Amino acid sequence: MKFFFPDSQDLVSPTYDFIHDEYSPLRVRQRDDRYAHEVLNEPAYDGVLVSKAVVDGSVQGAGKYSMPQRQRIYRMGVRAFFRLPEGTATMGDCGSFTYANEPEPPYRIAEVLDFYEECGFDAGVSVDHVILGYSKSGEAVPDDWYRRQQMTLECAQKYLDETRARNSSVQPIGAAQGWDPASYAESVAALQGMGYQRIALGGMIALRTPDIVDCLSAIDDIRSIDSSLHLLGISRIDNFDTFKSLGVTSFDSTSAFRQAFMDERDNYHTVDTTFAAIRVPQVEGNVTLKRAILSGRVRQADAVAGERDALVALREFDSGRIGMATALDSVLAYERLVIGPKKKSYADQYRRTLEAAPWRTCRCGLCADYGIEIAVFRGTERNKRRGFHNLATLRRKIAMKLERVKQ
């Protein structure tokens, strides 16, 4: 089971100053900043997934890449651009969620294959049009769902024809869309009939795990023995043994990374559990606190002092110079300034995090280098490092899960 990490140009600066919260004046982002696979002690993923919409933009506007970055990935190729370790797989797709509301995909087949070939991807997914819905009742579904499924299959045939005409080195992956187990199975059967041996299942991100399993089971009834499946945007690690038994050999997801800074509480992952990161927002960067200062509820001097005291206390705790209770008191004093007296405190979650201090025993490399900073919810440099740690943890959990399946 291979894990692909979808790229969105997430990097960290090795020279970032955590004490003063500032970048080096000599920093050059494209030269100095590092990807997860460059700063972790262990593999974070088996491959990277890069969407054309992220690089080149789509109907919604520019992508995540600046013009110089876009020029570099085309000039250098995906492997050199990301400075990938040997053996790391690369996959391209179109990023269909970026144009989900359009009547049809904005890309021509030839230009998508041009993107894959010029950037040197190992494999590329055919152009698809995501179906934003799922039917469990067997009732009639919108005509647009049928139209999108048919459009996706037509694009898959044209894409496969184009790869064959060019004798392309890019392995073709057929995209399958559906709205229930039967329609997904129909799509996979059609793709196999075209000659695809690797098939990516799209549009499943919002589905409950039992619904995904139902779809995979229906697909398994018609799946050729030499066909393998990729789950687009799906992790659900607790079900990997089931997924694997039903033909899934790879998946991609940003969930573990994004939970580091998007989830309310499950920010720091271990193989056994999750912890809440300790929120110490910057006075100048927190909208709620700035409003409180402008309204006169909080004095700016008190906010600055509270922020400083919380950070110092956490570092003193991590070095063993003060106890957990003292550090927690400082954090909660600042929390009261930030959220006010009426909102719910994170006190219980923070106490659990500090008592466990999971970063002290983590072997990802980042935790040993940065200590408690990795568990502080504050700014992109800390939050992305914690996200990278979560990726390494996910990769470790996958390996453990698959090892148990073998036994």
**Alpha-carbon distance 389 to 124, whole Å?**
28
Establish whether 252 is a catalytic residue.
yes
Instruction: Determine the pLDDT at residue 405.
Output: 64
Residue at 66: amino acid letter:
S
- Give yes or no: residues 237 and 327 share one domain: no
pLDDT at residue 237, rounded to an integer: 85
Tally: H helices and E strands in the chain: 17, 12
DSSP string, 16-77: -BTTTTB--TT--HHHH-B-HHHH-SS---SEEEEEHHHHH-BTTB--SS-HHHHHHHHHH-
Known catalytic residue at 369: no
Is the residue at 9 inside a domain?
no
pLDDT reported for residue 139: 81
- The reply to whether 269 and 241 lie within a common domain is no
- The enclosing domain of 87 has a CATH number of 3.20.20.105
Do 241 and 292 lie in a common domain? Answer: no
pLDDT at 157: 98
> Residues near 49 by Cβ (< 8 Å), separated by ≥ 6?
4, 5, 6, 7, 91, 92, 93, 252
List the domain range (segments joined by +) for residue 326.
264-394
Of 207, 233, 253, the domain-final residue: 253
Do 271 and 350 lie in one domain? The reply is yes
In the chain, how many domains are there? Answer: 2
Inside any domain, residue 245: yes
Q: Which among 253, 272, 305 is the end of a domain? A: 253
Chain position carrying tokens 């038994």: 245
Same domain, 69 and 97: yes
Residue 373 pLDDT? 98
- Judge whether 334 and 302 are in contact, CB under 8 Å: no
- Asked whether residue 37 is assigned to any structural domain, the reply reads no
Same domain, yes or no, for 249 and 272?
no
Among residues 253, 282, 310, which one ends one of the domains?
Answer: 253
Residues of the chain with pLDDT under 50: none
Reported pTM: 0.94
* One domain for residues 243 and 303: no
Termini Cα distance of the chain? 16
pLDDT tens for 289-318 read 888 899 998 999 999 999 999 999 999 999
Q: Are residues 72 and 196 in the same domain?
A: yes
- Count the neighbouring beta carbons within 10 Å of the beta carbon of residue 270: 17
Task: Check 7, 10, 33, 93 and give the catalytic one.
Answer: 93
**199, 339: one domain:** no
Residue 406: predicted pLDDT: 65
Verify that 377 and 243 share a domain, yes or no.
no
